[in-house]
Structure 1
Amino acid sequence: MAKIKETLISKNFLSLALLFILSALFYLSLVSKLGYTHDDWYLMYAAKVKGISIFHTIFSEDRPLRAFVMMPAYLLFGENPLYYNLASYIFRLLGGISFLWALRLVWVKEKLPTLLMALLFLVYPGFLSHPNGVDYLSHQVALAFAPMSIAFSLKAVLTTNKWYRTLFYSLSVFLGSVYLGLMEYYIGIESLRFLLIFVILWRMEGSWLQKIWRTIWQSLPFLLASFPFLYWRLFLFESERGATDTGKQLSGFLSNPLQNLLHWGKNLAEDFTKVLFGAWTIPLSQFYKIYPTVLSGMNILFLALVLWGIYALFFAKKKGDIWQREALFVGVISLFICQIPVVLVNRQISFPIYSRYTLPGSLGAVMIIVALVYSIRLKYLKETVFVLLLLISGLTHHANAAKFAAETESMNDYWWQVSWRVPHFGERTTLVVNYPRVNTEEDYFIWGPANQIYYPEGTSEKVVQPGVYAVVLNEDAIEKIKSRERQEYSNRRGIETYPNYRNILILTQPTLNSCVQVIDGFQPEYSEWEVERIKSVGDYSEVEHILTEETSHVPPEIVFGPEPAHDWCYIYQKATLARQRGDWNLVYALDTEASQKGSAPKDSIEWMPFLQASAIMGDSVRLEEIAPSMMANPFITQQVCQILTGMELSPEMGKLSEDLFCLAK
């Protein structure tokens, strides 16, 4: 007996070790290079300005319980993104371990299949926001508590000791209430709880009516825990977000029930397929640019696996197939039900933007996959499929983390350059920004980092009010800038901003090889790679919002990383700042420093301040040295001609400039 117990402990330890080692390899290889991203910017800025109590305000409009995750997290981790990402991983691992525990309470003897289900759930490649550690910490906490709650409920059903049963019921109900309070759209996971209880009780003697009644009776405490949440969510809580406002969603459905039912049915079928198979093919194809024929081949293999599994499990029954049919039954129903809440609020899975909606259904999806793969009788083929799935997951997670790490590096470099160029922004400046790598989805992608540097304490004692604002340069914003519209008021989760389309300053980095460039509407300079939307509003950019005589602000290293090397872009930023101040001697000296270091731009428009300084200082030799780099592109040459001929130069330098750049046209 002691030997059996020792063997079980050893096997359980090995299972946990495997979950930890593989998940750490998949998730932690680049964790130190991940910084703030997406909604992290406004969350962390608000906490910096008003402290942890602001989280109550931020989450009051949709998920109030999230404040109780973020408040202790901020107290423990402060502004350090590394700790949030590590905590996110720990809860992800805890969720995998809890899922393994729950599965082994149902299928006691199936050690390897349950381990594979837990492992595939833990490294599931469909969720692509894992590196977004601050904002998605609550999602990971909820995803850890959900299977843990289910495991405790199964323990309560299986135990005969009434005190233990009461304890397990209480823990299950508590954890269930917490995870639903954090993420209401996870409610479909409750179906997994009842289905697993049903599988356990179905094995007992009795008629099918007795078994169903027994399942309902045993599940009643958990139903009682879910109903108060549902009542509060549906009838008492007033959400300000359309996606989480059940009243708005219901009124939308009633406006055209038949059309909405058909639409929901189509979306449900698509989401079911994406969670089950698309997670293993679509993100991988996005990262590695897999040819459509290869992707189609992978989908055909998945379809073949499904068809073979159905045949093997239901039409060619063999001894030992029972657990597979049970897992397939539970997985299919659970996955289907888990996607219903997502579809009902008119959201749909889209990689990578809305990949989070795969999370609740992923529990059922991995059960289906393992059951189907186990229908393959050839041992080596079966093992090959599992290795392939893990390989796909590993490649997907690495590429995803590398993408986030590259965006972090690019964002940090961008704002360090801005700090070299801009000592201080005037209060209420509205920034328009073009990032070379990060897609600007929301205005706080801009004002978040800007205010971390220039207005870290905010500008209001009552509310979170940044010192500078921002607009996302879409078609609507372009029209408002050209129409010179006045300021707008925005209150997003208790953060007040007043973007003003008459008060803009444009910062742009056309390519990764370019430096950050400030557009002066009075005399704009555009890179040959500048995007059209920036050029369309460049004339409206006002450099007077840069307070050149103020003390320079240094980006906090904990947010933006260490200061980059003082290479070409540092010299360029200091030169353009000196040019704005009218200090041509310093610009000329910086050009000499760059020459001595062998530094030169990869974007030829960045020669402009040094070209101007050479012209003003009367250095015809240097002017002619720089000229070939500026004359290679007619678009750049034309700008040089306009700028130099508009300057007060000596007759000799004026003629030389005209001969080099204007007659060359």
Structure 2
Amino acid sequence: TPRSLWQTLKRAFILWLPYLGSLVGVMLWRALFFGYGLYRPIFYEMLAQNPLNALAYWLNRTVQDAILTAVMAWGNAFQTPGAQEMVPRLLMGYYAVVGTAFLLGLAVIWLTRTPRESAPPRPRLWVTPFLLGLAGLTVAGVPYWLTGLPVQLYFHADRFTLSFMLSAVLVTCGLFFALPLPRGLRLVVLSVFLAFSVGYQYRSAVVYLRDWVVMQRMFWQLSWRMPALQPGTTLLSNELPMRHYSDNSLTAPLNWMYAPDNTEPRLRYILFYPTVRLGANLPGLEKGLPFELDYLAATFQGNTAQAVTFWYKPPACVRVLDPEIDIENWTLPIYLRDAMAIHDTAPILPQGNPYLPEILFGTEPQPNWCYYFEKADLARQQKDWEAVARWGEQAFATGDYPNDPLERFPFIEAYAHLGEYDRAMEQTRLAGDISPVYQRLLCRLWRRIEREAPPTPERDASYQQVMNDFACDEPFTPPPGITPER
């Protein structure tokens, strides 16, 4: 009756009041005190300039995002993982989860069914949730339509689909029960949807866990290679192999690690992907350019004269780049080679005690190849060749080996400076046998050795052998399949 409907709506409104209050508070805070930042409501400007185009944009976004979240999103659930995404053990776990969820769903639906002969006649129950879902989809995206933010099914724009979730489910369920399917078939199809939805949650959990492990390993390796950093340092890197982390989000743990006691509204350190920041937050790749980044809770004021560039692509170790060598490294993306124009190792300080709380970074890993490599590379930066050799002894004693031939370069250089040319040539051959690309880099390394190591007949003979064996003086053409990223 109209009276009972009014009572229901009144009770719903009273229950909603606390949430309405928090919503209004946040809107006033952003509009009057904090500011919009990146999320400026550009729709009002569009409406003032051309009302018809603005309304067409609004209608197009409403339909487009409704279809994306209520229909297209199911493509993620039914996209089964491949061998590249999961190791065989995890892949077996995925299919076990899907199969178990299907059987359990089928059992629950079957056991809670109402026998046909005792079921009272019911109206079209699917109509109400379907219409409610449609109504919800017309308003779920208002914050993103006002600000022009894209709603997508991939990180990090997929977070905007959260406000569509309830409405999308109501529409999907309404459509599902509206279809004239036999009852048994409907139960099976519903169980299939449930099973693959659970399987998608399993896949997401695996990806998050993998990202978390990669993040932890990267920061531990950074702490070994860079015990301390001068305040104001900018770290530049490749786009790290973590789906759910960006340079923006990794800046927070970076500051936590190197400046845990900082209580000022000024960040000490920043991590930038040149692919994202160059031309925006990063003004250019010339030294001496000041820049500033508003990190909402704090501000970073930096200068391109104080930047360190590193590369991380597991299972290889974090590697601080060496401009003299890496300028011809065809395994690096071009944008990272360009970034070496402002790279400098001077901000890396050899003494420090980085703070890596166990709750975030786990316990410090047992010394492994990457541990010894990072320590050796730090000693190489200081030209402490005896320390490099000592770390090398421990590294090779582990029985492990480098996953990147350039991880042998500090030891080659140290052995040469210490007059152990047999060992230097042994490591040179092991690195050069991987690919002609690394032979070219070995040419550059040995030119530096010939220039800086103490002059001896052994040095000159080893240098000449490398120049001849790797055709260092001839023009170089990268082998097929080596095409660096732009």
TM class by shorter-chain length?
0.7 to 0.9
The answer to whether the aligner puts 1:374 opposite 2:177 as a matched pair is yes
Say if 1:653 and 1:395 are closer, same or farther in 2 by CA, change over 3 A.
Answer: farther
Output the CA distance in 2 between the equivalents of 1:428 and 1:348: 33
Q: Counterpart of 1:342?
A: 144
Query: What pairs with 1:524-539 in structure 2 (closer than 5 Å)?
Result: 524=326, 529-539=331-341
Match of 2:310 among 487, 504, 507: 507
Structure 1 residue 362 displacement after superposition = 2.4
Q: For 1:662, which of 421, 446, 467 is the aligned residue?
A: 467
Q: How many Å apart are 1:610 and its aligned residue?
A: 0.7
More displaced 10-residue stretch of structure 1: 385-394 or 620-629? 620-629
Change (3 A) 1:467 1:377: closer
Q: How does 1:544-623 map to 2 (within 5 A)?
A: 544-548=346-350, 550-623=351-424
Alpha-carbon separation, structure 1, partners of 2:175 and 2:325? 66
C-alpha contact 1:478 1:537 (8 A) present in aligned 2: no
Change (3 A) 1:179 1:584: same
Cα separation, 2, equivalents of 1:557 and 1:527 = 36
Cα deviation code 1:316-372 (max 9, x no counterpart) = xx9523322222222222323333553343233201232233333322222222233
> Contact 1:488/1:498 (CA < 8 Å) preserved in 2?
yes
Evaluate the alpha carbon distance shift between residue 395 and residue 615 of structure 1 in structure 2; reply closer, same or farther with a 3 A threshold. Answer: same
Secondary structure of 1:499's partner?
strand
2:474 is aligned with 1:624: no
Q: Which amino acid aligns with 2:348?
A: I
- In the TM superposition, residue 505 of structure 1 has moved relative to its aligned partner by 0.9
Paired residues of 1:243 and 1:346 also in contact (CA < 8 A): no
Contact 1:627 1:660 in 2 (8 A): no
Deviation at 1:528, TM superposition (A): 5.2
Letter in 2 for 1:654: R
Deviations 1:163-193 (A, max 9, x none): xx88x864442244335656x7xxxxxxxxx
Matched, 1:471 2:272: yes
CA deviation after TM superposition for structure 1 residue 373, in Å: 2.2
How big is the shift at 1:503?
1.4
> In 1, are the aligned partners of 2:287 and 2:304 still within 8 Å (CA)?
yes
1:437 aligned residue: 241
- Choose from 389, 400, 404 the match for 2:204: 400
Is the 1:521–1:543 contact (alpha carbons within 8 Å) kept by the matching residues of 2? no
Where in structure 2 are the equivalents of 1:116-515 lying within 5 Å? 157-158=7-8, 170-178=14-22, 181=25, 237=32, 240-241=35-36, 245-246=40-41, 248-282=42-76, 284-285=78-79, 319-352=121-154, 353-375=156-178, 376-438=180-242, 443-458=247-262, 463-474=264-275, 475-476=278-279, 480-509=283-312, 511-515=313-317
CA shift, 1:237, in A, is 4.0
Q: Is the 8 A contact 1:520 1:539 kept in 2?
A: no
Q: Check 1:440–1:607 CA distance in 2 against 1; reply closer, same or farther (3 A cut).
A: farther
Contact 1:429 1:503 in 2 (8 A): yes
Distance 2:271 2:367 in 1: 28
Query: How many Å separate the matches in 2 of 1:242 and 1:590?
Result: 48
Counterparts of 2:149 and 2:83, CA distance in 1: 26
Give the TM-score taking structure 2 as reference length. 0.78
Bigger helix fraction: 1
Q: What is the CA distance between 1:420 and its match in structure 2?
A: 0.8
Taking the aligned partners of 2:232 and 2:149, their CA distance within structure 1 comes to 35
Cα distance 1:593–1:379, how it changes in 2: closer, same or farther (>3 A)? same
Aligned residues: CA RMSD: 3.2
Counterpart code for 2:439 = T
Instruction: Please tell me the residue identity of whatever aligns with 1:542.
Output: D
The answer as to whether partners of 1:527 and 1:604 remain within 8 angstroms in 2 is: no
Partner Cα distance (2:394, 2:83) in 1: 43
Q: Which residue in the other structure is 1:649 paired with? A: 454
Match of 2:474 in 1: none
Return the match for 1:542 from 344, 357, 362: 344
Instruction: Work out the CA distance in 1 between the residues paired with 2:412 and 2:62.
Output: 61
Q: What letter corresponds to residue 195 of structure 2 in structure 1?
A: L
- Residue type at the aligned position of 1:589: R
CA distance in 1, matches of 2:250, 2:37: 25
Deviation at 1:619, TM superposition (A): 2.0
Tell me by how many angstroms 1:556 deviates: 2.0
Q: Check conservation: 1:283, 1:351, Cα contact below 8 A.
A: no
Q: Within 2, Cα distance between the matches of 1:245 and 1:157? A: 39
Give 1:560 shift. Answer: 1.2
Q: In the aligned structure 2, how far is the partner of 1:254 from the partner of 1:289?
A: 52
Pairwise CA distance, 1:377: 4.1
Following superposition, the deviation at residue 504 of structure 1 comes to 0.9
> Cα–Cα, structure 1 residues 237 and 591, in superposed 2: closer, same or farther, change >3 Å?
closer
Equivalent residue letter for 1:455: A
Q: What SS does the corresponding residue of 1:430 show, helix, strand or coil?
A: strand
- Pick closer, same or farther for the CA change 1:276–1:577 going to 2, 3 Å: same
Report if aligned partners of 1:527, 1:603 keep a CA contact under 8 Å in 2: no
Tell me the amino acid that sits aligned with residue 275 of structure 1: T
SS, match of residue 236 in structure 2: strand
Distance, in Å, in 1 between the alignment partners of 2:379 and 2:314 is 24
Choose which of 293, 307, 319 in structure 2 pairs with 1:517.
319
Shift of 1:383: 0.9
* Count of aligned positions: 424
Matched AA of 2:307: I
Deviations 1:47-66 (A, max 9, x none): xxxxxxxxxxxxxxxxxxxx
C-alpha distance in 2, partners of 1:238/1:289?
Answer: 50
Judge which range, 625-634 or 403-412, deviates more: 625-634
> Secondary structure of 1:414's partner?
helix
Q: Is the 8 A contact 2:238 2:273 kept in 1?
A: no
The 8 Å contact of residues 373 and 407 in structure 2, kept in 1 or not, is answered as: yes
C-alpha separation between the residues in 2 aligned to 1:572 and 1:245? 47
What residue number does 1:640 align with? 442
- Offset, 1:272: 1.0
- Answer whether contact 1:471 1:499 (CA < 8 A) is retained: no
Unmatched tracts of structure 1, length 5 or more: 1-153, 160-164, 185-231, 291-317
One-letter amino acid of the counterpart of residue 468, structure 1: Y
State the 1:405 CA deviation.
Answer: 1.6
Q: Secondary structure, in 3 states, of the residue corresponding to 1:618?
A: coil
Whole-Å separation in 1 of the counterparts to 2:356 and 2:451: 36
For 1:420-463, what per-residue CA distance to the aligned partner results, in whole angstroms no more than 9, with x for missing partners? 111210121221123541369865334322211111122xx6x3
CA distance in 1, matches of 2:173, 2:280: 50
Q: In the superposition, relative to structure 1, how do residues 354 and 657 fare at CA in structure 2: closer, same or farther (>3 Å)?
A: same
Structure 2 matches for 1:75-90, cutoff 5 A?
none
State the 1:266 CA deviation: 1.9
Contact 2:130–2:171 under 8 Å retained in 1? yes
Q: Is the 8 A contact 2:412 2:425 kept in 1?
A: no
Alpha-carbon distance in structure 1 between the residues aligned to 2:184 and 2:466: 71
Q: Which residue of 1 aligns with 2:104?
A: none
Q: 1:254 to 1:238 in 2, by over 3 A?
A: farther
Letter in 2 for 1:157: Q
Cα distance change on mapping 1:333 and 1:524 into 2, 3 Å: closer
1:306 aligned partner: none
